Homo-oligomer: A and B are copies of this chain.
Amino acid sequence: MPKTITIGIVGAGRIGKLHASNVMYYMPNARLKTIADTNLTPEIEAWAKNLGIPNVSRDPEDIFNDPEIEVVMICSSTNTHADFIIRAAAAKKHIFCEKPIDLTAKKVVAALDAVKKAGVQLQVGFNRRFDHNFARVHELVKSGSIGEPQLIKITSRDPAPPPPAYVAVSGGIFLDMTIHDFDMARFQAGSEVVEVYAKGAVLVDPEIGKAGDVDTALITLTFANGALGIIDNSRKAVYGYDQRVEVFGSKGAAVAENDTPSTVKLYSEAGVEGDKPLYFFLERYKEAFIGEMKAFLNAIETGTKTPVTGNDGLQDLLVGLAAKKSLAEGRPVKLSEISIG
């Protein structure tokens, strides 16, 4: 029987709670000992008690200082990620960190340096790599079934836009939303992005425009291996969360469609009607959130490399920064133009 891994979670917001539940329900070899949130509320305390988490705290140091805790999961707000990584690395704990590591390359590099020096493991929360559909596409690409990848196409549309207040502090659509798609594109291409051209528009909500962002975007990617990529984003698909990936290559194409609540079709005089895609990321990526955690804990247990590394987090950020620059300057931007700091 494998040994038990003791875990602390920093941050008890939506995503922290999700990971906590998944650890409690689905990770038989993991023990969630402590969850810390600087804004600890009675609601969080009740939730933690009900779930059976032994300790709650408002001080993350209760986790970093706990010698029993081997793994820290950082689920706090983005601006705290890099510091907590550095702190956790100093405490020699393995780290799972939600995406993005930071909105600046400089802080990401500092965090990755700390991880490297400490010799701990780091996985970044790009959960979509563990989606059953996209993992299957990857498997077909890896096995050579489609030959050399030539075009990577990603459709990624949210069901509803975030509040403009959120948009203002989000880092913009490319670092907040598209960064998942940049990671997916790199994952499927098996190659790094060397150039980005981003085109954006405000078609969903003028308030998003006023907040200095776009809500609709097309991003063209060029990969080191010669493949091209295209991502289309919208903040509002009225029919639900639209998440499709296609990789086209010299021997064929692998095409992933959306998931739906059921396979049922209703045939009537009005037409043939089927289900809309699963509503949003909690529904669509439910299994993928579990999958990334299992893969992370397995890497810790076996001492093997995590499947989404700190460098992945860095590269995805650099692509995002290039996209921002491209949109701002109205021209294609090479990754080499993006200064790391």
Interface residues of A, Cβ cutoff 8 Å to B: 1, 25-26, 28, 50, 132-133, 135-137, 140, 145-148, 150-151, 153, 155, 157, 197, 199, 201, 203-204, 216-218, 220, 222, 226-228, 230, 232, 234, 236-239, 242, 248, 250-276, 330-332
- Asked whether B145 lies within 8 Å of A218 as measured between CB atoms, the reply is no
For the complex formed, measure the closest distance between the CB of A218 and the CB atoms of chain B, giving whole angstroms: 5
Could you say which of B199, B203, B217, B267 contacts A197, with CB atoms under 8 Å apart? B199
- Asked whether B146 lies within 8 Å of A268 as measured between CB atoms, the reply is yes
Residues of B within 8 A of A267 (CB): 237, 239, 242, 252-255, 276
Known contacts A25-B25, A248-B157, A332-B330; is-contact A239 B218 (Cβ 8 Å):
no
Extra contacts, 12 of them, besides A133-B264, A147-B238, A273-B273 (Cβ < 8 A), are: A153-B155, A197-B199, A199-B220, A199-B332, A201-B228, A203-B250, A217-B228, A218-B228, A239-B269, A239-B271, A258-B263, A331-B332
What are some 13 contacts across the A-B interface (CB < 8 A)?
A133-B262, A140-B264, A151-B234, A157-B248, A201-B226, A237-B248, A239-B267, A239-B272, A254-B266, A257-B265, A258-B263, A272-B276, A273-B274
Could you say which of B226, B242, B251, B274 contacts A269, with CB atoms under 8 Å apart? B251
A133 to B, closest residue via Cβ: B262
Complex Cα distance A273/B140, Å?
11
- Asked whether B218 lies within 8 Å of A266 as measured between CB atoms, the reply is no
Residues of B within 8 A of A146 (CB): 266, 268
- Asked whether B238 lies within 8 Å of A250 as measured between CB atoms, the reply is yes
Complex Cα distance A8/B253, Å?
43
Complex Cα distance A14/B251, Å?
29
- Asked whether B133 lies within 8 Å of A263 as measured between CB atoms, the reply is yes
- Asked whether B263 lies within 8 Å of A239 as measured between CB atoms, the reply is no
For the complex formed, measure the closest distance between the CB of A120 and the CB atoms of chain B, giving whole angstroms: 29
Scoring A28, A135, A272 by chain B CB atoms within 10 A of each residue's CB, the highest score goes to: A272
Give the 9 A-B residue pairs with the shortest CB-CB distance, closest first.
A252-B268, A239-B267, A136-B262, A257-B263, A136-B264, A253-B267, A150-B203, A272-B274, A271-B273
Complex Cα distance A50/B197, Å?
53
Residues of B within 8 A of A147 (CB): 238
- Asked whether B263 lies within 8 Å of A271 as measured between CB atoms, the reply is no
Could you say which of B203, B258, B271 contacts A148, with CB atoms under 8 Å apart? B203
Complex Cα distance A260/B259, Å?
10
- Asked whether A230 lies within 8 Å of B228 as measured between CB atoms, the reply is no
Residues of B within 8 A of A331 (CB): 331-332
Residues of B within 8 A of A50 (CB): 1, 28
Could you say which of B136, B153, B217 contacts A232, with CB atoms under 8 Å apart? B153
Could you say which of B199, B227, B252, B264 contacts A255, with CB atoms under 8 Å apart? B264
A240 to B, closest residue via Cβ: B267
Known contacts A272-B239, A276-B271; is-contact A145 B258 (Cβ 8 Å):
no
